[in-house]
Chains A and B, each alone.
Chain A
């Protein structure tokens, strides 16, 4: 087994026990990225030199007999909307093309303190607005499982990096599915924690009430280790809960699903989704039953019917407000103008991409008197009803299984033009975000063409550890996803 194929857990154990050095791991991962980055295009800024220096520091720490942390020498990438001190943070936007933050996001601090080694900043749709990672200043990222296809998004760069073996671990942000859906498209594990688990400090916001820092990995255990590092109270973010988190890795000791009540979502017509993904859902339900769980069908009528509309109203409105600070004065790109307003307009029109400008104008509209009363106001109440619906269901179930995406990764450039089909792409992920629930994309292997299949596991808010436990039981049955070799067609058998 090559060093780049190891999980985060195996890497940290190997480094801490001096089986191999952090520098060797970093070199292997850098070489891996060197080899495939030309075709995958997952990374906006690589920090290989700094990573090697940092890896040697970890090795020195180990040599001195010190505890180098639970992620000792583990390479990771962060989506380019995490603030990194001294390393430019672009959000894939011209408006931040040359911006270097003066501080590290809390999540970055926690990763570094745990001994992890940052390898660079990954591609995303500009300001995380999109679900294909095509809409970027560096151009589209390709899916390592099939270079003709999109990796999903907006955290497509992070998902591709983990799938291609650039690193065992990556950070993304999930607002309405931005980690779960690319994890699904790239065939890796990805977890959106409950809202309030992980600090948002240093995350360039898309929507304040939805954004959550979310790890991607190739094993559920690595997700749990990352959660243990990331989920903690933070004095810099008052929306991050102050309660004492459980030990997420302890939940992995769950042997089977005896006594667990699992709901399998059946509230859609099979014509609305890909047959193989539907098959994966049925298979996952079967595995749950085999593992001892009580499995029953369930439905989320309010969430499925109203979720996407509620999500759009909420997220677009918030984006219009959060992106108003980019005015060309204090940071970021600037364009001159003869008056204050013209300076604003020139800067923002020239430096925000078309899709971002469109969403800002939409969001502005949704908050304007009259529109607010018919859109934003009702959406706040519908959202509360969705939360109530979830809470009622969790009296009957410990977890649900839903699809992550209704479709397999699509071909690059095949822009969805039918708005109704476009909205459908988010239908299973956004309700979970609106409810603040933990959701895990669990890889279910590959289809005959080598495209990833997966399901989404959803738990009750703050029951992230329990959900990781259930995911780990299922992972033992279906197997962990392997590293993709970009450019080489894979098959189900080949991946194992």
Chain B
């Protein structure tokens, strides 16, 4: 008797604003010298006051609208008080009572089933700084001191809090993927779990035998989708074992240890109530007029599910093709540009799915950095369609164009590949040379021992190869027979 699983997720997204949530410092902290993107506000210098970033409000609203939330006309900030070295003010400014967006949902697909995950709310808050624990031998334990870098301190986050509507690790993973896709479509966040611009905390409980809700455990520190899935699976099995052996689940926060593949109790470190929340009076409330909300609504780009629908309708593609092409907004745009430049819809879809993604994967590139502009690829695809180029050569040319700054003409020339370019006397000279270089094979053919024609095919292949695809196969075959007979 499997106990029903109840999962709710809190997803933190770093917003891609230019400046921090409450000060005009740059949000660019990765790879920067420590403590250079700081100012009196994010260092909590006495007398300074937070100044709310308009851009962060706009992004939070956009994300809220993408999640079908209601944007609040009036929302407020609060302080979450606790001491830690990475928190300069010793309180985090966050929203807890009146968040900027409430209600809403996100539809996910899992095992071919569609499921609606309700969103409780979305709020704005500031990120903390970063701690570094150096040691002579690079180990984490045994350091004599810790180092604090406040560059990340104050970077805007939006926290999306779901209802406990997910019932398997796979659904949780799918939800995060969908949320990340939405955030990227909306240019709200990079959504990179590995770099920490998307962070997930999971609340999980197993229902009791009588069907009532079980004790909730929070899991933190999962740095990839894989880790999220593994941590939830581990936790389900841990809780099941505990309950099977008659034990009790303790309400607590546990940290996922990816190396060991286990969750560990934070030893009752701090519970929510110890944070001492109360209203932030250094900031005016966020007042968002209906007109402002309408402005955000009007500026909403096409959402992933809208794009999928449109692609299926206007390009006549299969569900799988549409999914792949619309996974990333930029890839979808690339495909559309390809078609707009004259590439046939189905062919173009194949090229993007098979070849463009292959090359991007080989190069470790994003479509944004892809050298081959859609118009160029459209030209290439058209030439292959017209049989001016073989499809093998076409793919080779794409490889070259993706790696070097060449025009299509230059790449074609470089490949030397153009059907029908080597013809007449030039082709004749090439064939004569090959015949002279293969006396044994020629002898075999002439003596009538090439019953199955294998040797002749071998020579034909040599000719085509040496001609580098420029010879017309029929002309080459005719000339070869003529010279062998001669």
**Which of B47, B81, B88, B273 has most chain A Cβ within 10 Å?**
B47
What 10 A-B pairs have minimum CB-CB distances, sorted nearest first? A369-B273, A324-B90, A209-B281, A367-B276, A208-B281, A325-B44, A202-B47, A83-B47, A238-B284, A208-B282
For B43, list chain A residues within 8 Å (CB): 330
For B47, list chain A residues within 8 Å (CB): 83, 101, 103, 105, 201-205
CA distance A372 to B284 in the complex (A): 22
Contact with A along B255-291 (1 / 0, CB 8 A): 0000000000000000001101111111110000000
For A330, list chain B residues within 8 Å (CB): 43-45, 88
Would A101 and B45 count as touching, CB distance under 8 A? Answer: yes
Given contacts A324-B90, A369-B274, contact A236 B281 (CB under 8 A): no
CA distance A209 to B283 in the complex (A): 10
CA distance A484 to B90 in the complex (A): 44
Partner of A325, one of B46, B50, B278: B46
Q: A297 contacts the other chain (Cβ, under 8 Å)?
A: no
Question: Can you pick out 22 interface pairs between chain A and chain B where the beta carbons lie within 8 Å of each other?
Answer: A83-B47, A89-B46, A101-B45, A103-B40, A207-B281, A208-B280, A236-B49, A236-B51, A238-B50, A238-B283, A317-B278, A318-B281, A321-B90, A325-B44, A325-B88, A329-B85, A330-B45, A331-B45, A344-B83, A364-B276, A367-B278, A369-B276
CA distance A209 to B46 in the complex (A): 16
CA distance A287 to B29 in the complex (A): 65
In this complex, how many residues of chain A approach chain B with their Cβ under 8 Å: the count is: 44
Give residues 54-104 of B contacting A (CB, 8 Å).
Answer: 79, 81, 83, 85, 88-91
Residue of B nearest to A209 (CB): B281
Q: B148 contacts the other chain (Cβ, under 8 Å)?
A: yes
Would B146 and A340 count as touching, CB distance under 8 A? Answer: yes
CA distance A329 to B87 in the complex (A): 11
Q: B48 contacts the other chain (Cβ, under 8 Å)?
A: yes
Taking the closest CB of chain A, its distance from the CB of B275, in whole angstroms, is: 9
Would B52 and A238 count as touching, CB distance under 8 A? Answer: yes
For B88, list chain A residues within 8 Å (CB): 325, 330
Residue of A nearest to B282 (CB): A208
Would B49 and A200 count as touching, CB distance under 8 A? Answer: yes
Q: A239 contacts the other chain (Cβ, under 8 Å)?
A: yes
Q: A327 contacts the other chain (Cβ, under 8 Å)?
A: yes
Chain A binding surface, main DSSP class: loop
For A324, list chain B residues within 8 Å (CB): 81, 83, 89-91
For A228, list chain B residues within 8 Å (CB): none
Contact with B along A209-230 (1 / 0, CB 8 A): 1000000000000000000000
Residue of A nearest to B276 (CB): A367
Given contacts A200-B49, A237-B49, A239-B284, contact A327 B83 (CB under 8 A): yes
Residues of A within 8 A of B (CB): 83, 89, 91, 96, 101-103, 105, 200-205, 207-209, 235-239, 317-318, 320-321, 324-327, 329-331, 340-341, 344, 364, 367-370, 372, 376, 380
**Which of B43, B279, B282 has most chain A Cβ within 10 Å?**
B282
For A376, list chain B residues within 8 Å (CB): 278
For B85, list chain A residues within 8 Å (CB): 329, 340
Would B276 and A325 count as touching, CB distance under 8 A? Answer: no
Would A239 and B90 count as touching, CB distance under 8 A? Answer: no
Taking the closest CB of chain B, its distance from the CB of A44, in whole angstroms, is: 16
CA distance A453 to B49 in the complex (A): 37
**Which of B44, B46, B283 has most chain A Cβ within 10 Å?**
B46
CA distance A369 to B278 in the complex (A): 11
Residue of B nearest to A241 (CB): B284
Would B284 and A325 count as touching, CB distance under 8 A? Answer: no
**Which of A202, A341, A364 has most chain B Cβ within 10 Å?**
A202
Residue of A nearest to B48 (CB): A201
CA distance A150 to B372 in the complex (A): 81
CA distance A48 to B380 in the complex (A): 81
Would B282 and A239 count as touching, CB distance under 8 A? Answer: yes
**Which of B44, B52, B146, B280 has most chain A Cβ within 10 Å?**
B44
For A320, list chain B residues within 8 Å (CB): 81
For B278, list chain A residues within 8 Å (CB): 317, 321, 367, 372, 376
CA distance A320 to B49 in the complex (A): 17
Taking the closest CB of chain B, its distance from the CB of A350, in whole angstroms, is: 17
Would A325 and B90 count as touching, CB distance under 8 A? Answer: yes
CA distance A200 to B279 in the complex (A): 18
Would A235 and B79 count as touching, CB distance under 8 A? Answer: no
Would B44 and A321 count as touching, CB distance under 8 A? Answer: no
Residue of B nearest to A195 (CB): B281
Taking the closest CB of chain B, its distance from the CB of A372, in whole angstroms, is: 7
Taking the closest CB of chain B, its distance from the CB of A473, in whole angstroms, is: 35
Taking the closest CB of chain B, its distance from the CB of A116, in whole angstroms, is: 19
Give residues 174-194 of B contacting A (CB, 8 Å).
Answer: none
Residue of B nearest to A203 (CB): B47
**Which of B44, B49, B81, B85 has most chain A Cβ within 10 Å?**
B49
For A327, list chain B residues within 8 Å (CB): 83, 90
Taking the closest CB of chain B, its distance from the CB of A202, in whole angstroms, is: 4
CA distance A370 to B83 in the complex (A): 20
Residue of A nearest to B22 (CB): A238
For A200, list chain B residues within 8 Å (CB): 49
Taking the closest CB of chain B, its distance from the CB of A450, in whole angstroms, is: 38
Would A201 and B40 count as touching, CB distance under 8 A? Answer: no
CA distance A344 to B82 in the complex (A): 12
For B51, list chain A residues within 8 Å (CB): 235-236, 238
Residue of A nearest to B89 (CB): A325
Taking the closest CB of chain A, its distance from the CB of B277, in whole angstroms, is: 8
Partner of A102, one of B40, B79, B276, B281: B40
For A318, list chain B residues within 8 Å (CB): 281
For B277, list chain A residues within 8 Å (CB): 367, 372
Residue of A nearest to B272 (CB): A369
Residue of A nearest to B283 (CB): A238
Taking the closest CB of chain A, its distance from the CB of B470, in whole angstroms, is: 69
CA distance A201 to B41 in the complex (A): 11
Taking the closest CB of chain A, its distance from the CB of B55, in whole angstroms, is: 15
Residue of B nearest to A202 (CB): B47
For B276, list chain A residues within 8 Å (CB): 321, 364, 367-369, 372
- Assuming A208-B280, A325-B46, A329-B85, what are 4 further A-B pairs, CB within 8 angstroms? A209-B281, A236-B48, A325-B88, A367-B277
Would A204 and B49 count as touching, CB distance under 8 A? Answer: no
Would B148 and A83 count as touching, CB distance under 8 A? Answer: no
Partner of B279, one of A102, A236, A325, A380: A380
Taking the closest CB of chain A, its distance from the CB of B43, in whole angstroms, is: 5
For A368, list chain B residues within 8 Å (CB): 273-274, 276
Taking the closest CB of chain A, its distance from the CB of B24, in whole angstroms, is: 10
Taking the closest CB of chain B, its distance from the CB of A434, in whole angstroms, is: 12
For A236, list chain B residues within 8 Å (CB): 48-49, 51
For B79, list chain A residues within 8 Å (CB): 321
Residue of B nearest to A370 (CB): B273
CA distance A320 to B89 in the complex (A): 12
Taking the closest CB of chain A, its distance from the CB of B170, in whole angstroms, is: 36
Taking the closest CB of chain A, its distance from the CB of B268, in whole angstroms, is: 15
**Which of A102, A238, A317, A329 has most chain B Cβ within 10 Å?**
A238
CA distance A200 to B268 in the complex (A): 39
CA distance A205 to B50 in the complex (A): 13
For A83, list chain B residues within 8 Å (CB): 46-47
CA distance A207 to B282 in the complex (A): 9
Residue of A nearest to B91 (CB): A321
CA distance A237 to B276 in the complex (A): 24
For B52, list chain A residues within 8 Å (CB): 238
For B283, list chain A residues within 8 Å (CB): 238-239
For B282, list chain A residues within 8 Å (CB): 205, 208, 239
For A202, list chain B residues within 8 Å (CB): 47-48
Residue of B nearest to A369 (CB): B273
For A239, list chain B residues within 8 Å (CB): 49, 281-284
Residue of B nearest to A330 (CB): B43
Contact with A along B28-48 (1 / 0, CB 8 A): 000000000000100111111
For B281, list chain A residues within 8 Å (CB): 207-209, 239, 318
Taking the closest CB of chain A, its distance from the CB of B112, in whole angstroms, is: 45
